């Protein structure tokens, strides 16, 4: 099946040698493997989410509602997959979770620059997160660039104002709402998981743990697509430091 002009095989296309070398799958302790590889897998998905959001914004700016809906369609499914990542971590017995956590020191998902990129790209822009301890200079540069960019929310607003065909606007609104709802569910699942392991205890980034995540779960990425829009209940949620 492989002649001189054969296309590169599966492993090469996916650069699996490099990928599996940097993947945190080699630890002797399988609880560590589950914990760390789950976080890496979430970061890959965050990157995929970012690419799709950029594509949605481009389609809205090109006034192509059908394409925007098509680009947005995978987003809630990608986020639902991330919810299941938490289900995997919930299988850890409490003592195993605490052993992993002790070994990790202060590292926290709070330091996920891509996660803030998703918030900034959508239009949920709290520049205080630029000061997050643990961000590299490159992280801050990327985040500042996101703050200067047009947001998905702005692109949606302009599209909705311009588009005479209300059905098209409604389809785009529904697609973005599906995404934002899935994201809100992810945030809530995260809070429940933190409660399961930490109870009322603090997080590794120094927040009040599950209580912080429950407050964060009130944030909406694209408030305009919810009933009540930007004036809806707590649309911007509480942001700021952990
Ligand atoms: C047992 C598993 C987990 C627990 C107990 C947990 C707990 C927490 C806590 C307590 C915080 C608040 C900040 C702090 O003080 O550390 C936080 C933030 C965060 N974690 Fe997790 N987490 C878990 C898994 C994950 C996973 C798998 C991801 C995926 C990348 C993740 C991503 C995040 C993000 C993005 C934040 C910032 C949330 C925000 O500011 O809205 N966490 N986590």
Please check whether residue 168 lies inside any domain of the structure: yes
Whether residue 242 is predicted with pLDDT greater than 70 in this model: the reply is no
Residue 22: inside a domain = no
Q: What pLDDT digit, counting tens, does each position of 43-102 carry?
A: 999 999 999 999 999 999 999 999 999 999 999 999 999 999 999 999 999 999 999 999
Question: What confidence tens digit (pLDDT) does each residue in 150-168 have?
Answer: 999 999 999 999 988 999 9
What is the span of the domain harbouring residue 148? 27-231
Count of structural domains, the chain: 1
Q: Is residue 21 part of a domain?
A: no
| Residue 6 belongs to some domain of the structure | no
Q: Residue 11 domain-assigned?
A: no
Is residue 75 within 8 Å of 49, Cβ to Cβ? yes
Report if residue 242 sits inside a domain. no
- The residue whose CA is least distant from atom 4 of ligand 1 is 194
Going by CA atoms, what residue is nearest to atom 21 of ligand 1? 109
Pocket probe mutation, ligand 1, options 190, 200, 237, max atoms within 8 Å of Cβ: 190
Which pLDDT band, with edges at 50, 70 and 90, does 204 fall under? very high
Which pLDDT score is estimated for 163? Answer: 84
State the pTM of this model: 0.94
**Domain-embedded: residue 3:** no
Best mutation site among 43, 101, 104, 108 for ligand 1 pocket (most ligand atoms within 8 Å of CB): 108
- Return the CATH number at 210: 1.20.58.480
Judge if the beta carbon of residue 65 lies within 6 A of ligand 1: no
């Amino acid at each position: 099946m492989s002649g001189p002009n054969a296309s590169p095989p599966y492993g090469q296309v996916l650069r699996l040698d490099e990928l599996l070398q940097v993947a945190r799958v080699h630890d002797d302790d399988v609880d560590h493997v589950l914990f760390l590889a789950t976080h890496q897998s979430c970061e890959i998905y965050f990157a995929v989410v970012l690419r799709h959001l950029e594509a949605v914004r481009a389609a809205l700016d090109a006034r192509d509602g059908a394409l925007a809906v098509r680009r947005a369609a995978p987003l809630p499914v990608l986020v639902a997959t991330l919810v299941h990542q938490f289900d995997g971590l919930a299988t850890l017995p409490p003592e195993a979770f605490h052993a992993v956590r002790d070994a990790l020191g202060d590292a926290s998902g709070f330091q996920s620059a891509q996660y803030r990129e998703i918030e900034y790209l959508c239009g949920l822009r709290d520049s205080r997160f630029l000061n997050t301890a643990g961000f590299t200079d490159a992280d801050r540069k990327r985040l500042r660039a996101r703050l200067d960019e047009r947001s998905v929310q702005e692109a949606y607003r302009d599209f909705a104002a311009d588009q005479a065909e209300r059905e098209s606007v409604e389809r785009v609104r529904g697609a973005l709402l599906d995404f934002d709802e899935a994201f809100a569910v992810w945030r809530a699942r995260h809070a429940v998981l933190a409660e399961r392991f930490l109870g009322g205890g603090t997080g590794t980034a120094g927040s009040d743990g599950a209580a912080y995540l429950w407050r964060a779960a009130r944030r909406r990425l694209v408030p305009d697509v919810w009933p009540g829009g930007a004036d809806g209940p707590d649309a911007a949620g509480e942001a700021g430091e952990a």
